[in-house]
C-alpha cells in the first residue's frame, strides 16, 4: 500500500470524512526519524484499527533549547518509505505554519504535573506536546491514538488531556523497544558516539539493579532511588537530571512500593539527553 501524503489540514479533513462510516482510525503521532520503536507503534495501531494515520512533525513548541531543535534528525523520505513498507493508510507531514498560523497562538497547559520531572528540566516542553497532540486529535478525530511508554510522563499527561477533552478516544500505550544492549531506542541515539553509546547503557543497567533490589524485598522508594544513583555515580560522564520512584498511574510521590510504581530516569551522555523507565509491581 502506498500511503496518501498530506501537508494541509483541509486535505486531512476531506480524507477523514471520506472514510467508510464505522471504519475505525488509529493515529500515531511522531516527530519523524522513524525507527524500530515507531514501527512497533504502527503495528499496534494496525492491530486496533483498519486505518492508520501517522503524523510527522518536528514540533518547535516542545523544544526549550533552540540547538536541540536545530539538531533534531529530519528524514522525511526515509520515514515515508517505512510507512509505505508497513502499510500505513495516510501520512500528515505539515509545515510549521500549517499547525501554528500566526492568528492562533493558544496553547494547552500541562498543569502542575507538566512542571515536574522532565518538565522541570525542559520548561514548557509538555505544554508544547499537549498543544500539538490536541490539534492533531481535533483535526484527525481518531478512535485510537498510540504512544510509546518510553516517554512515560508524556503518556500520563496525554491520557489526562484525552479523558477531559476527548472521552471517546482510547489512548494506547506500547512498551519500550530496546536494542540488544538494553538501550531504549530513540531518534536521539544516532547522535551518540560509540563510546558514549556504551556509557548510555548504564542508564538501563541502573534501573535493572533497582528492580533486582525491589524483587529481593526492598519497597522503600528512597532506598531504591539511592541504589540507582549510587550505581550511576561511578560514571561521572553521565550527568543525571533525576531518578525517581513514583506512582505509575499519576506520577505522585509514594512512601512505599505497595502498588504499581515506575522508575523515571533522565540523564545526559555526550551532550545527548536520554530518558528511560522501568515499571515496578505492575
- The 3-class SS string of 44-108 reads HHHHHCCEEEEEECCCHHHCCCHHHHHHCCCCHHHHHHHHHHHCCCEEECCCHHHHCCCCCCCCC
User: What pLDDT score was predicted for residue 281?
Assistant: 86
pLDDT value for 71 = 87
pLDDT of residue 259: 92
Residue with cell string 489540514:
9
Task: Tell me the pLDDT tens digit for each residue of 91-103.
Answer: 999 999 999 987 6
For position 64, what pLDDT does the model report? 86
Q: Which helix (H) or strand (E) holds 170?
A: strand 170-174
The answer on pLDDT for 254 being more than 90 is yes
The whole-number average pLDDT for the span 6-30 is 96
Distance CA 241, CA 229 (A): 11
For residue range 132-169, list pLDDT tens digits in order. 999 999 999 999 999 999 999 999 999 999 999 999 99
Look at residue 159 in the predicted model and tell me its pLDDT. 98
Q: What pLDDT was estimated at residue 149? A: 98
| Digit-coded pLDDT (tens) for 186-238 | 999 999 999 999 999 999 999 999 999 999 999 999 999 999 999 999 999 99
Full-model pTM: 0.95
pLDDT band at 128 (very low <50, low <70, confident <90, very high): very high
Residues serving a catalytic function are 38
Give the mean model confidence (pLDDT) for residues 166-189: 96
Percentages helix, strand, coil for the chain (3-state, rounded to 5) are 45, 20, 35
- Indicate if the pLDDT at residue 105 is higher than 80: no
User: Which pLDDT does position 65 carry in this prediction?
Assistant: 87
Contact between residue 120 and residue 113 where contact means Cβ atoms under 8 Å apart: no
For 55-65, the pLDDT digits (tens) are: 999 999 999 88
Output the pLDDT for position 104.
61
Domains and CATH numbers, the chain: 4-174 (3.40.50.620), 187-280 (3.30.1300.10)
Q: What percent of the chain has pLDDT over 90?
A: 93
Amino acid at each position: 500500500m502506498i500511503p496518501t501524503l498530506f501537508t494541509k489540514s483541509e486535505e486531512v479533513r476531506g480524507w477523514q470524512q471520506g472514510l467508510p462510516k464505522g471504519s475505525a482510525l488509529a493515529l500515531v503521532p511522531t516527530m519523524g526519524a522513524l525507527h524500530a520503536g515507531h514501527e512497533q507503534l504502527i503495528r499496534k495501531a494496525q492491530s486496533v484499527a483498519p486505518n492508520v494515520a501517522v503524523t510527522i512533525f518536528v514540533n518547535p513548541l516542545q523544544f526549550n533549547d533552540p540547538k536541540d531543535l536545530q539538531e533534531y534528525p529530519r528524514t522525511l523520505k526515509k520515514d515515508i518509505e517505512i510507512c509505505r513498507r508497513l502499510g500505513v493508510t495516510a501520512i500528515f507531514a505539515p509545515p510549521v505554519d500549517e499547525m501554528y498560523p500566526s492568528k492562533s497562538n493558544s496553547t494547552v497547559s500541562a498543569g502542575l504535573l507538566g512542571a515536574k520531572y522532565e518538565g522541570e528540566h525542559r520548561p514548557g516542553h509538555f505544554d508544547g506536546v499537549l498543544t500539538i497532540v490536541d490539534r492533531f486529535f481535533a483535526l484527525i478525530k481518531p478512535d485510537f491514538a498510540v504512544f510509546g511508554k518510553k516517554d512515560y510522563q508524556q503518556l500520563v499527561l496525554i491520557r489526562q488531556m484525552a479523558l477531559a477533552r476527548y472521552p471517546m478516544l482510547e489512548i494506547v500505550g506500547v512498551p519500550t523497544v530496546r536494542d540488544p544492549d538494553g538501550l531504549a531506542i530513540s531518534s536521539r541515539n544516532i547522535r551518540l558516539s560509540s563510546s558514549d553509546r556504551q556509557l548510555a547503557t548504564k542508564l538501563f543497567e541502573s534501573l535493572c539493579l533497582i528492580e533486582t533490589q525491589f524483587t529481593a524485598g526492598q519497597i522503600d522508594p528512597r532506598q531504591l532511588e539511592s541504589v540507582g544513583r549510587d550505581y550511576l555515580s561511578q560514571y561521572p560522564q553521565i550527568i543525571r537530571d533525576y531518578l525517581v520512584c513514583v506512582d505509575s498511574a499519576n506520577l505522585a510521590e509514594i512512601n512505599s512500593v505497595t502498588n504499581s510504581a515506575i522508575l523515571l530516569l533522565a540523564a545526559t551522555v555526550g551532550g545527548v539527553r536520554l530518558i528511560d523507565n522501568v515499571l515496578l509491581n505492575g
